[in-house]
A and B are shown apart, each in its own frame.
Chain A
Amino acid sequence: MNCLNGCRNIYIDNAATTKMSKSAINAMLPYLDGIYGNPSSLHSEGQKAAEALVGARERIAKCLGCTSRDLTFTSGGSEADNQAIVSAARIGEKKGKKHIVSTAFEHHAVLHTLERLKKEGFEITLLDVHENGLVTPEQVAEAIRPDTCLVTVMYANNEIGTIQPIAEIGAICRERGVLFHTDAVQAVGHLKINVTEQNIDMLSLSAHKFHGPKGIGVLYARKGIPLTNLIEGGAQERGKRAGTENIPAIMGMATALEEACENIDKNTKKLTALRDRLISGLSEIPHSILNGDAKKRLPGNVNFCFEGIEGESLLLLLDDKGICASSGSACTSGSLDPSHVLLAIGRVHDIAHGSLRLSLSEENTEEEIEYTIGAVKEVVEYLRSISPIWRDLSSGKKKFIIK
């Protein structure tokens, strides 16, 4: 369906996944082609792979401000989230602590794991994230009980991009002796993170969100936190995650992360300017509203609701204009679920349905942003012109929710 606008292809769905960086691809190639050994093998082919693995682990540890032995390679962010939460739960259980604090707008990798624990008898407190999409450290402090074994709060939200006060929450947890995990999948490579300085006990990341390959991630767990295995088998990852290491992906991830961290100031500056232009342009559309705090958000994240519009139609028509964007969260069936994030910040169902997430990368240009603003305006206007709901709204039969 593409190619209507001279094969324009504007990719602004970087929160879903990113294009791999050239240097990350180059870092992987030798391990696909020449160095194919199994790092567990004793021979020299194996040793070359094992050395690569050690090197990559060191480089990633440096980017996160921890030591390399605190890192476990996983298949991605979801596995890391699962393992972190299950591990903390098992530790808590042994001490009779079966209460977990989290937020209402976590990623499903977190929420669904918590639901499973709930069935096992854990008690879960989900903190309100308010209309601005932020929790406060005070909320966390109030929610912690003597039987709390874990606080897990995402670093930056995947849909509305809001950045939580992670260091402050970490400090409170440290003080109260509760483990603190953060799902930092959207933040790593985009925000400056230092797990030690920010009092983070466990952190999940995923390479493909910062121009690395898919299918690889990391669980950071501070020394002394015993991890529970999700996958049993060989003794890879110090026995905490079985399965032959995905060396090419790990090499790509290490390079992508280094590159992202080196350029973080430059990228932030550029992205923030593009983001703010996009926000001001889309705000001109009547009956629209920005989701999430305007400033405390990822430099590349823009999320709007347009009243009287269905997200799915909006996306397909934008795709026709060569714009790859997103709405809600992709469901297993490939359909879009009404976003639990937007519901969590108090958007009603009808409004949450008409959401649009644009997530930028440093490759996007000012010209692309202007084109996108024009295209969104056009499509929203068109869809409203044929929408029965809009007819009811503009005739006064139904009341507008967004002013």
Chain B
Amino acid sequence: MKALIAMSGGVDSSLAAKLMIERGFECIGCTMKLYQNEDAGIERSRTCCSLDDVEDARSVSYKLGMPFYVFNFTQDFKNTVIRNFIEGYEKGVTPNPCIDCNRYMKFDKLYERAKALGCDYIVTGHYARIEKQNGEYVLKKALDETKDQTYVLYSLTQEQLAHIQFPLGEMKKTQVRALAEQSGFINANKPDSQDICFVPDGDYARVIELHTGKKSMQGNFVDAQGNILGRHKGIAHYTLGQRKGLGISSTEPLYVCKICSQSGDVVLGGGKELFGNEANVCDFNWISPSSPKDTFRCKVKIRYRQPEQWASVTPTGDSTVHITFDDPQRAITPGQAAVLYDGDTVLGGGTIK
């Protein structure tokens, strides 16, 4: 059996490669080149971090004795992930490009490439598990819940799940680092990636302005009654629940409560106004082919690092659901994902409207 290992240059995917080789697979390492320095607003003359990552992945592949390729998917990445990211911010929502990247790049574009090369599996270093139960594939949380990444994997289809392996799903991060060190990998102690890869300094607004060639929509900070509190820097600079960097003085702490992409207004308010119980979710993917029709109880996660919350979920269409949380939730953010769990099994997920 042949496996294509998607290598980021980090320690997780490196160890995933090693484990696949130990399991007897014929492995090919690859790194996707997703953006040019220019796309991230880094000067071309500077060696960008992504080039260093490629070299790390190459070094590990060499050590493991597997062929290594770099695939240039910059155009596809720009047309899907970066475009969605920009359109999201222009609409005043807060998109999660890592989810899109898994969906459009790793498990679609790269899967296609794997097929062309005669590979049976795509392998990544994600912390998640795939099991087969009663003839269908089930996506489950990693055993190490602190590292679980199923939140960004909810869009997987049965066909994709049949051709993916997550060798780290049952491992602890500390174990992974120890094994990587034992194997003499160059990146054994490399820190985990934090930022969005094409926004290396966390300055989203700058990258968006770079791509669109114009300033993000300007407008006013207003209060709930519509009174103008001041000018803001452009709507892309703000996300729901944000408190820092508003530059508006007030006796009470102020938070971003709403972003209106029509008027350009950014509504500020106290902490209380941020709480809500309801969420409409679109573009919903059910992992199981037999999705529920009626309201049911489950746990829901509405951002990456947040405990799951009990809720009642009602399917409202083929790819839409309505969620009612038991307890009010702070900053249910349009553009972010809502992912449904039954114990450690992922039921599905979609984008908060």
Contact = CB atoms under 8 A, between A and B. Distances in A.
B58 interface: yes
A331 B51 CA distance: 11
B54 interface: yes
B67 A317 contact: no
B112 interface: yes
Contacts of A388: 112
Interface in B76-129: 112-113, 115-117
Contacts of A139: none
A47 to B, nearest CB: 42
A333 B70 contact: yes
Contacts of B25: none
B109 to A, nearest CB: 10
Contact of B70 (A112, A335, A387): A335
B71 interface: yes
Contacts, number: 50
Interface residues of A, number: 21
Contacts of B116: 310, 313, 316-317, 383, 386
A223 interface: no
A161 interface: no
B33 A312 contact: no
A90 B261 CA distance: 51
Given A332-B51, A386-B116, A338 B69 contact: no
Contacts of B74: 337-338
A349 interface: yes
Interface residues of B, number: 19
Contacts of A334: 54, 58, 69-70
A383 B58 CA distance: 26
Interface in B135-166: none
A23 B278 CA distance: 80
Contacts of B75: 338, 349, 353
A312 B117 CA distance: 10
A302 to B, nearest CB: 22
B117 A335 contact: no
14 contacts: A312-B69, A312-B71, A312-B113, A313-B116, A331-B70, A331-B72, A333-B31, A334-B69, A335-B72, A336-B72, A337-B72, A337-B74, A338-B72, A386-B112
Given A331-B72, A332-B51, A386-B115, 9 more contacts: A310-B116, A313-B116, A333-B33, A334-B58, A334-B70, A335-B69, A337-B72, A338-B72, A388-B112
Interface of B: 31, 33, 44, 50-51, 54, 58, 67, 69-72, 74-75, 112-113, 115-117
